Amino acid sequence: MSAEINEPALKKQKLDPDNCVKIIETEGDVSSSVKEGPSESTALSKTEDSVLNGPLDPLAYTKTQHFTSEIYKICIENVPKYVNAPDVRKFLKKYDLEAVKVKRAFKTSFAYVTFRDEPTRQKALQTLENVQWKKNLLKVHCAEPDKNPFARNEARGDKKLQDCRSVREKTAPLYQMKLSEQLEFKLSEIQGVLNNYKNLLKRSWQSGFPEEHYNFSISEIKQSPVLIGYRNKCEFTIGKNTDTKEEICVGFVKGSFSLGNISIESPDECTETCSCIMIEEVKKFKDFLATSTLPIYDNIANTGVWKALQIRTTEQQDIMITPIVDKRSLDSEKLEKVKCSLKKFYSEKQNCSLFLKLVGGKEEVAHIDGPEFMLEKLCGYNFQITSGSFFQVNTAGAEVLYQTIRETARLDDKTVLLDVCCGTGTIGIILSKYVKCVHGIEIVESAVEDAKKNAERNKIKTSLFMQEMQSQQFLELSTIFLNLPRQGLWRLSIHRGTGCMQMLLHV
């Protein structure tokens, strides 16, 4: 199945890998890369250095009234090689230490941890020094806050780092290829991943590697029925267009957060990913922002309110609009005015669900007007979608995907199916009539509730959705589906689920 989607940077296009690292937002809303070692630094001239100590100070966000855990940060060295961020959190809890944020780059020897206050940081420094973790003796010291990449780049003046790709190139890197060339390229990429996996297995095998079991064959990629404007969900950034000097722009980021250089560009040309409905709604929301007395969010000064716009649509032309705001500068009176102004602006829009997402601290989502959910039809079933629901972004493509899953899994009336990271329950509900029963497991509580409602709505009585499973339930399983988030699956979960497993499918 294929449609041109948000691909990672491709070696074939010789893109700078620094433009493609994963971004994590701190509590101060300063973007920083997880590809981090003990403090990266770029040499700056004396003139640039003097600018950094002025209004473009890259640590200015730590000196405001807004909370950021970056000022309560430590570096733990000699961390065991294969330990991940959740492992670090679990280890800290043994010593009654609650981390706000953990950064752990894979296979490095260090981890960065931030805390809620200075007393907790001091406790961590005293408690963890020379503590043994597995065979490693830990070393701990205070760490500097992450530097705001936007302020650093502004200080470079004419030497600013830039990413010159258009938003169309960033959202659909293969758009200039014919569809047949895209499919051929993607097939080659998948084959490369499998070959690399096989080589890794060989290196870890002591002797007698069963080569015949790892001759991977790849079937033909199945094409999505919809190739243009296929996404049913997009999130658009609000900011300035530095090329046209527009003070208010809603669209995609042209540039790189990690380089500290971004400009917001309209999605008008991004027809591969965005539907005409979405593009039109982006323009309307820009008109709304022009009437607002509240400022858009400034990534350099870390001030402002309007940050982004999330839009979801269905095949039935329903729409869900969710503006995203930084709540730290909004008191209850201002927040109420924001809600009222949005409700008034969209009061005449039909089939519209209106929400407001608040970030800058604990995330909250407030329902403002219209239905509290949308219904999307998928493979003949109706699914309830809320503002935070996970749902396949290509509805028509998902139908092809689920049909392929059913054909591959060889399901029958004796199959006990486990859907891991089930989201709103789409896979389990659609396949329920082909199996004995379905267990869906999902860590997000609101998604579990949506899955239960979807099962009830579709009169499915053989599905059970939950946040965790009992040990005896694992013993009944015969088939496991993994539809995982980017960080993957906790390795202990794999061991628990494979006892009686006959088939595992990674979706």
Paired with 503 in beta bridges are 479
Per-residue pLDDT of the chain (507 residues; tens, 9 = 90+): 444 333 333 333 333 333 332 222 333 333 333 333 333 333 333 333 433 444 567 787 787 777 788 899 999 999 998 888 888 999 999 999 999 999 998 778 999 999 999 999 999 999 999 999 999 999 999 999 988 777 777 777 666 666 678 889 888 999 999 999 999 999 999 999 888 888 877 777 767 777 777 777 788 888 889 989 999 999 999 999 888 888 999 999 887 776 766 789 999 999 999 999 999 999 999 999 999 999 999 877 778 999 999 999 999 899 999 999 999 889 999 999 999 999 999 998 988 999 999 998 888 999 999 999 999 999 999 999 888 888 889 999 999 999 998 888 888 888 888 888 888 889 889 988 888 888 888 877 888 888 899 999 999 887 777 666 554 555 556 667 666 665 555 554 444 444 556 677 777
Predicted local distance difference test score (pLDDT) of residue 486: 59
Neighbour-count burial for 353-363, b at 16+ CB within 10 Å, e otherwise: bbbbbbbbeee
Tokens of 273: 């990913």
Predicted local distance difference test score (pLDDT) of residue 212: 76
Predicted local distance difference test score (pLDDT) of residue 164: 73
Q: How wide is the angle at C-alpha 280 spanned by C-alphas 277 and 281, nearest 5°?
A: 85
Q: Decide: 177 and 170 in contact? Cβ < 8 Å.
A: no
Q: What one-character DSSP code corresponds to residue 273?
A: T
Give the residue among 116, 115, 106, 147 at the shortest CA–CA distance from 22.
Answer: 106
Predicted local distance difference test score (pLDDT) of residue 478: 61
φ, ψ for residue 453, nearest 5 deg: -65, -35
φ, ψ for residue 63, nearest 5 deg: -110, 10
Predicted local distance difference test score (pLDDT) of residue 293: 93
Tokens of 428: 């389990």
Q: Decide: 273 and 229 in contact? Cβ < 8 Å.
A: yes
Q: Decide: 71 and 145 in contact? Cβ < 8 Å.
A: yes
Q: What one-character DSSP code corresponds to residue 241?
A: E
Tokens of 350: 């039909």
At 76, is the secondary structure helix, strand, or coil? strand
Paired with 159 in beta bridges are none
Tokens of 505: 């499918």
Predicted local distance difference test score (pLDDT) of residue 86: 87
Helix, strand, coil shares, percent, the chain, to 5: 35, 25, 45
Give the residue among 357, 342, 170 at the shortest CA–CA distance from 265.
Answer: 170
* pTM recorded for the entire structure: 0.74
Predicted local distance difference test score (pLDDT) of residue 53: 44
Whole-number Å distance between alpha carbons of 202 and 186: 25
Predicted local distance difference test score (pLDDT) of residue 477: 61
Which residue's entry shows tokens 């509900």? 429
| CB-based contacts of 496, cutoff 8 Å, min separation 6 | 471, 474
